[in-house]
Amino acid sequence: MTGHADTSRIKLLLWGAVAWLMVCGLVLLQIAPHFPTTVLQWALLLVLGPPLYVLGEALGAWLFSPERGHRISPKSFSLLRLVYGLVVVLLIVGVGGVVASIIKGGA
């Protein structure tokens, strides 16, 4: 009985590793052609890439949901929503730039 539980646990770990590496591949596609060049950068990509990718997707879905957009402005086209989205994206890009410069400077 424990043999079956061990086998299913190993299968679960293997599928989890495959999914993790697939998300790492998605992250690599998004950062192309700026691939990691140092061991630290590769380690950060492999360890932090998938959780940050999933977190970013969830944050984007939450921030730019139709309900939230309707609360900002009920119009079908709204300059206020465009400004809101631009501010959010600029903040994300700014934070990403600071983190990237820290990683490049520390490596």
Q: What is the pLDDT of residue 2?
A: 64
Q: What is the pLDDT of residue 11?
A: 92
Instruction: Indicate the pLDDT class of residue 87, thresholds 50, 70 and 90.
Output: very high
Containing structural domain, residue 35:
2-106
Q: What is the pLDDT of residue 4?
A: 76
**Following DSSP, what letter does each residue of the chain receive, concatenated?**
-HHHHHHHHHHHHHHHHHHHHHHHHHHHHHHTT----SHHHHHHHHHHHHHHHHHHHHHHHHHT-HHHHHHH--SSS-HHHHHHHHHHHHHHHHHHHHHHHHHHHH-
Number of domains in the chain: 1
Q: What is the pLDDT of residues 57-83, one digit of tens each?
A: 898 888 888 888 888 888 888 898 889
For the full predicted model, state whether its pTM sits above 0.85: no
